[in-house]
Amino acid sequence: MDPIVSFENVEVDYDGRPVLKDICFEVQPGEIVGLAGPSGSGKTTLLSHLIGLKRPVRGSIRLFGEQLTFLSPAAQRRLRQRIGVLFQGGALLSSLNVYENVALPLLEMGFSDAWIQPMVSLALSLAGLPPENAPRMPSELSGGMVTRVALARGLVAEPELLLLDEPTAGLDPIVADAFIALMGDLQKSLGITALMISHDLRALERLCHRIVLVGDGHLIAQGQLHDLKQKADSRIRSFFRLDGERAS
């Protein structure tokens, strides 16, 4: 099966400063891949490149088999409609209520209210949000609810790929656990393909089929969590706290 995401020898920079070099990994259909690494290692920058917001310095990024670098802005927009993104902190539009936030991708695709309304109901339900939250404004929601609304917005247009940027950051352990369980259920029932950036070891352990670990400017290792934990590399052991150290 063709991979949904493919990074081939990618080099990325941030404000002209090289961040990551020789990044090679793939995300296969139906797979959740965790992108992990210390703070400032370039994970979110990598995600920005995947969405097409930035261009890599070197190498190629393929999304649904298409090389992003050579696509016109219109083609990139069409490709982005096949992706659902859950940004760090939710990034809900504060002037729109929950319903309008979730409905936005479908509205942009040209669907009428008659089709949008049931799809928003479905997305809210999938994200575990009761429908009475639909008219509420983002400022009235708790952190966990903001994350769920952001997930609903990511799911509403039936994405073929879900990108999750630190979905459990800032959530207390109980809410974070509930979110991980929800994602696990969605993966089982919908067969979601996702690339998830996370520091949260529990989220990585419980959700991801494979983990890509970046740091020190390049890809340190990738594979199943169990295999990674067997490796002797001190950076891997430090990240997964195998030597009693805290991951940064």
Partner 1 sequence: MSDPAPRSRSGNDMRPPSLERVGMPGGSARIVLSGAWTLRRLQNPKRLASLEKEIHLIHAQDPAGHWDLMGATLDHFGALLLRRGWLSSPPVHLELTPSQASLFARWERIPPCSPQKVKDGLEVWLRPARWISRILLDSLALMGLIVFLFLNFLRQLGTSVAKPHRIPFQEISRNLYQMGFKALGIIAIVGSLIGIVISYLAALQLQGFALRGFLVFIIGISIVRELGPTLAAVLVAGRSGSAITAELGVMRIRGEIDAYRAMGIDPLYRLIFPRLVALLILLPLLVGWSDFFGIITGLGAAALTLHASFLSLVRQLPRLVPLFNLWFGIIKGGFFGLLIGLVACRLGWDVPPDAASLGQETTRSVVLSITLVIALDALAAVLFRRTGF
- Nearer to partner 1 by Cβ, of 12 and 156: the residue is 156
Q: Shortest approach of partner 1 to residue 140 CB, angstroms?
A: 10
Q: Shortest approach of partner 1 to residue 44 CB, angstroms?
A: 19
- Nearer to partner 1 by Cβ, of 20 and 196: the residue is 196
- Nearer to partner 1 by Cβ, of 86 and 207: the residue is 207
- Nearer to partner 1 by Cβ, of 45 and 97: the residue is 97
CA 51, CA 152: separation in Å to the nearest integer? 19
Q: Shortest approach of partner 1 to residue 139 CB, angstroms?
A: 5
Q: Shortest approach of partner 1 to residue 236 CB, angstroms?
A: 18
- Nearer to partner 1 by Cβ, of 208 and 219: the residue is 208
| Footprint on this chain of partner 1 (rule: CB under 8 A) | 2, 4, 28-32, 64, 81-82, 93-95, 97, 99-100, 103, 109-112, 115, 117-122, 124-125, 130-132, 134-135, 137-139, 157-158, 160, 187-191, 193, 205-209, 224-225
CA 202, CA 172: separation in Å to the nearest integer? 13
Rounded to the nearest 5°, which phi and psi values hold at 224? -75, 150
Q: Shortest approach of partner 1 to residue 224 CB, angstroms?
A: 8
Q: Shortest approach of partner 1 to residue 83 CB, angstroms?
A: 10
- Nearer to partner 1 by Cβ, of 2 and 216: the residue is 2
